[in-house]
Amino acid sequence: MLVRTATLIALMLSIVGCATNPVTGRSQFMIISEKQAISASSEAYVKMLAPLDAKGKIDSDPALAAKVNQITARLIAQAIKFRPETQTWDWRVKVIDDPETVNAFCMAGGKMAIYSGLILKLQASDDEIAQVMGHEIAHALSAHTSEQMSVALATDLAVTAFAVTRDEPGVALAGASLAAALAIKLPNSRVAEAESDVIGIELAARAGYNPNAAVSLWEKMAKNSGSNGEFDFFSTHPAPAKRIENLRKLVPKMMPYYLEKSTRPVYPLKSGEG
Ligand SMILES: [Zn+2]
């Protein structure tokens, strides 16, 4: 307890306590910088995927991996237009061969994965896969991972350690990397979800993916909820009743982007870490 408290105080003293969302301008609770979050996420990503890779569970379906790579490449090109400094991110995407898990994530710095269960169980179209990944990329662009890591670090690292190692006993992580691994398992706040819904559907539309797929995706998600373990999309993405309605209202606004009639962003562009 004492060590943990001392570590936390040291963190709080050394790092700013608040930051501005780089895309929307919203004030966020931050005791870990985005730069630190990116570094820790990179380490966590490698360590989380290594045991799966050893079992042949990473990109085991080359056609599916190629498809997901193509979709995310188009999204990344748009993400870089939203936040030009993310051009230096080491963007990666992997398909995790796990037909029972309906989930996907994008960590700080653009380290992504999608579980095959999301595509197979939902029979997700390319447009719907683009909506999932666009939404996840929006979390990373908006520094939601560092926000979640800050919450994890400020809450209780022992709880953090338990939550991560319970699912992946072979994964040895500590400190910030542990928080990075937990960040993608914590439920996002409603504010963070709403931000990512708006940014995600726009990223996808600008990348040439139909905004109506955001609505059909969530309708499919709703039908499939409760059928999976706790690490599924619904456990990390609380779905307010109005979510589908809000997305439906965004569709007409996003259609011009999809139809390549407009290039004006919804949010003003902001650079830097705030
Ligand atoms: Zn989300």
pLDDT at 254: 95
Q: How far is CA 179 from CA 37, 107, 138, 230, in A?
A: 9, 11, 19, 18
85 is catalytic: no
Per the domain annotation, does 10 fall within a domain? no
CA 87 to ligand 1 centroid distance, Å: 22
CA 236 to ligand 1 centroid distance, Å: 7
Q: What is the C-alpha to C-alpha distance for residues 132 and 116, in angstroms, rounded to an integer? A: 13
Q: How far is CA 128 from CA 85, 91, 212, 229, in A?
A: 27, 20, 9, 22
Q: What total number of domains does the chain contain?
A: 1
Per the domain annotation, does 212 fall within a domain? yes
Amino acid letter, 49: L
Q: What is the C-alpha to C-alpha distance for residues 177 and 160, in angstroms, rounded to an integer? A: 11
Per the domain annotation, does 3 fall within a domain? no
- Where are the strands (E) in the chain, listed by range? 18-20, 27-29, 92-96, 104-106, 111-115
Q: What is the C-alpha to C-alpha distance for residues 256 and 250, in angstroms, rounded to an integer? A: 11
Determine the structural domain holding residue 68 and report its residue range.
42-140+164-174+184-258
Q: Which residue has the higher pLDDT, 50 or 4?
A: 50
Q: Which residue has the higher pLDDT, 2 or 67?
A: 67
Q: Which candidate, 67, 135, 139, 72, places its Cα nearest to that of 108?
A: 139
Per the domain annotation, does 154 fall within a domain? no
pLDDT at 272: 45
Cβ distance 178 to 161 under 8 Å?
A: yes
Per the domain annotation, does 25 fall within a domain? no
User: pLDDT tens for residues 133-178?
Assistant: 999 999 999 887 777 777 777 665 555 555 555 555 555 666 777 7
Q: Which residue has the higher pLDDT, 270 or 51?
A: 51
CA 148 to ligand 1 centroid distance, Å: 12
Per the domain annotation, does 58 fall within a domain? yes
pTM: 0.80
Kindly name the residue from 43, 128, 136, 195 that is annotated as catalytic.
Answer: 136
pLDDT at 176: 74
Per the domain annotation, does 197 fall within a domain? yes
CA 3 to ligand 1 centroid distance, Å: 33
pLDDT above 80 (res 128): yes
Per the domain annotation, does 27 fall within a domain? no
pLDDT above 50 (res 85): yes
